[in-house]
Amino acid sequence: SAKKTNRGNIALHNQDIQNAYLNKIALRDKLRNAVKHELLDVYYQPIVDQSTGKIVKFEALVRWFDDEQGMISPGSFIPIAEEFGLIQQIGHFVLKKACQDLNRIHSLGFSDVSISVNRSVNEFKVSNNQFDLISEAIEHANIPFKSLTVEVTESMATNHYTWKLLAELRAKGVKIALDDFCTGYSSLSHLIENQVDYLKIDKSFVDSLLQDKSKQIMISCLIEMAKQLGIKVIAEGVESNAQLDVLNELGCDHIQGYYYSPARPIGACIHLLEEFNGEGSIGFDLLNFTS
């Protein structure tokens, strides 16, 4: 009967919830172990300046290669880390490694290159002394404050304490980027009040750019506004030549995406710098690039 089927569905549904919960707990324990034994790694994705074709910045992205499961994406474990109080340790590990690797990049002569790290909501609690942690990591690695960018998402923009802290870091020279812009609600006020240095247009927006003319109009307006405010615009998740062409036509400052490169280990990034930023090089040769 219908009633019986319904019961069956509910039982199945409960089983699903239970399985999801058990998977989550297993992942949490595995992550705890990975954090404890420093099994995480940091990869870097280049961000290319469109006026020079050179790499201006690398985004530090945490990586986790598990013996059994292979690569586990940050999209699935960062939320777990946030929920179970592991995000601070992960964030600090990525920050320290990124600052040290940037020191290496600078010491090889690429002193204009900067680095960016991501920050989650829970990392900006009053008790977390992020200001000291970030300042110390920069000073310890002996890099300029202006060479570090902190990426925050719009969903964090509602927290007053976060903005106070970001303003303090900014006063020291650290740059602030608004990540995943154009997703969820858009808080233009943080741009207009000139509290950020970079605006990162989300991949989902870039994805629909070619089919959706209204998206192009929106980006064109954003870029125009950003220019007047002295904010640089970075497009994320650019994969094709056609997307790149449109973004260049609209005057987008910087491009990040598989079109140029996915995130890579530091050694491979240094090779990219030597090839494309080195003396006499003309930057990424767009004509020779196929994606």
Helix axes 2-36, 74-83, angle to 10 degrees: 90
Interface region with Mg ion, contact rule CB under 5 A, candidates 37-45, 91-99, 213-221, 229-237 = 229-237
List the one residue from 9, 18, 51, 73 that touches ligand C2E (CB under 6 A).
Answer: 73
Interface region with ligand C2E, contact rule CB under 6 A, candidates 114-122, 128-136, 160-168, 188-196 = 114-122
Give min distance, CB of 108 to ligand C2E, in A: 24
**In the complex with ligand C2E, which residue's Cβ is closer, 90 or 143?**
90
119 is a site residue for ligand C2E (CB under 6 A)? yes
Q: Which amino acid is at 124?
A: F
SS3 82: helix
179 is a site residue for Mg ion (CB under 5 A)? yes
290 burial level (CB within 10 Å; 0-12, 13-18, 19+): exposed
49 is a site residue for Mg ion (CB under 5 A)? no
From residue 27 to residue 56, what is the string marking binding to ligand C2E with x (rule CB under 6 A)? Answer: ------------------x-----------
**In the complex with ligand C2E, which residue's Cβ is closer, 110 or 151?**
151
SS3 19: helix
| Separation in Å, CA 175 to CA 147, 149, 214 | 8, 4, 30
Q: ∠ CA(130), CA(83), CA(256), 5° rounding?
A: 65
**How does DSSP classify residue 284?**
S
Interface region with Mg ion, contact rule CB under 5 A, candidates 158-166, 211-219, 235-243, 259-267 = 235-243
Question: How many positions of this chain bind ligand C2E (CB under 6 A)?
Answer: 24
Taking the C-alpha atoms of residue 272 and residue 181, their distance in angstroms, rounded to an integer, is: 27
Which residues make up the interface to Mg ion (CB under 5 A)? Answer: 118, 151, 179-180, 236
